[in-house]
Amino acid sequence: MVVFGTRPEAIKMLPVIAELRKRPTLAVIACSTGQHREMLQQVTEAFAQPCDMDLGIMVSGQGLTALTSRVLLAMSEVLERDLPDLVLVHGDTTTAMAAAVASFYAGIPVGHVEAGLRSFDLQRPWPEEFNRVTVDSIATLMFAPTETAAANLRREYNQSGRILVTGNTGIDALLTIAARLESDKKLEAVTAGQFRFLDPSRRLVLVTGHRRESFGAGFEGICEGLAEIAERDDVEIVYPVHLNPNVRAVVHRKLAGRPNLHLIEPVGYVEMVWLMTRATVLVTDSGGLQEEGPALGKPVLVMRDVTERPEALASGVVKLIGTDPRKISSSVSQLIDDPVAYASMARRVFPYGDGHAAQRIVDAVEDWMCCDAGADPKPLRGATSK
């Protein structure tokens, strides 16, 4: 059973689901908790990989405690009914954490895709750092995207889980859609037609922002920085605004109606990849864009003070800028105005893999599933040792 609930999870798990469904040895159930129901359908349609069930756990205005409880209860019922041999979860969401805990309570092994990422600060990002540490503490199979993530896992509590360095499945998804846009001229034209409002003579700054730790003063600062950038007549900002009301309220209050700044509804993944390929700079607090930007050769400015993705920082194509409005504005302006600074960050690098992570993960699942019960397991294909 593959469990996901948010749009980023779906983007990164659908390549795994597609690969699992190719294997005649494996029966697959794709289970959505519906944490981001409005945005999930766009992604499942893009990859032509439908869900087998939707738990529909979202209730308007519910907090993390209620969300966690609802996922736990719903997953407990599903696990008792379907009795999967393995539950795969992804990353650091409440869905991933609660589904893993429900599986642990039910005595069902857990596989963690994108295991081992660490900021080493439980408050940043919050609650994501807690979520991923919790999942890794109980996982049987840990699919680390990088050797750094695997090294983190080897130092931690769970010494019985098996680690495999796979690359990141988000790169699988990105390269698949980017290649489709390049080869399918009709798809490219239809996608481009949705953004006729863009002025090709201006530099495109693509923004995403939704982190809980920035709610309040952080988002006030982010908006002030974006407003300052929008005053330039050579720049155009596109900001697909997250559906969380804590984000939408401040963003629309401070930025609506400003020239050169387009606040749009969340877009599908195909549309997002199209925007990324045309952007001059990516400004984000998202983990996904920290991975995707380098693969596309796009500079990424991260509106956070810490990151669990040090490989991107080390490559020199990603930079932490926090939520101070002056820092946001000056960092973007430097890349726009200084060709040398821009060239130093606008390089295609692949710290998160080659686009074949899903195949490695499914090979490992197949190896693990095909072992005789109770026997000493054979090594996973490509697995690293503790």
The active-site residue out of 23, 202, 212, 278 is 212
Question: How far is the C-alpha of 310 from the C-alpha of 291, rounded, in Å?
Answer: 11
Question: How far is the C-alpha of 73 from the C-alpha of 90, rounded, in Å?
Answer: 19
The active-site residue out of 112, 211, 242, 304 is 242
Pairing, β 203-208 against β 162-165? unpaired
According to the model, what pLDDT value does residue 195 have? 97
Cβ 360 vs Cβ 333: under 8 Å: no
Q: What is the pLDDT of residues 254-288, one digit of tens each?
A: 999 998 999 999 998 999 999 999 999 999 998 88
Establish whether 188 is a catalytic residue: no
According to the model, what pLDDT value does residue 215 have? 78
Residue 52: CB atoms within 10 Å: 13
According to the model, what pLDDT value does residue 372 have? 44
According to the model, what pLDDT value does residue 373 have? 41
Tell me the sheet residues that pair with 320: 302
Establish whether 9 is a catalytic residue: no
According to the model, what pLDDT value does residue 159 have? 92
Are 2-168+353-369 and 190-345 the same fold in CATH?
Answer: yes
The active-site residue out of 19, 114, 172, 236 is 114
Superfamily of the domain at 2-168+353-369: Glycogen Phosphorylase B; (3.40.50.2000)
| Domain parsing of the chain, residue ranges | 2-168+353-369, 190-345
DSSP track, 294-325: HHHT--EEESSS--S-HHHHHHTSEEE--S-H
Establish whether 7 is a catalytic residue: no
Answer whether CATH 1.10.540.10 is correct for domain 190-345.
no
Cβ 251 vs Cβ 223: under 8 Å: yes
Which residues of the chain have a pLDDT value below 50?
372-375, 377, 385-386
Question: How far is the C-alpha of 317 from the C-alpha of 291, rounded, in Å?
Answer: 10
The active-site residue out of 9, 19, 128, 236 is 128
Question: How far is the C-alpha of 232 from the C-alpha of 180, rounded, in Å?
Answer: 34
Q: Could you tell me where the beta strands, DSSP code E, fall in 5-93?
A: 30-32, 53-54, 87-90
DSSP character for 364?
A: H
Report which of 158, 52, 48 is spatially closest to residue 111, judged by C-alpha positions.
158
The active-site residue out of 9, 19, 92, 311 is 92
According to the model, what pLDDT value does residue 39 have? 63
The active-site residue out of 118, 210, 232, 309 is 210
Establish whether 92 is a catalytic residue: yes
- What's the whole-model pTM score? 0.89
Establish whether 213 is a catalytic residue: no
Residue 154: CB atoms within 10 Å: 15
Establish whether 356 is a catalytic residue: no
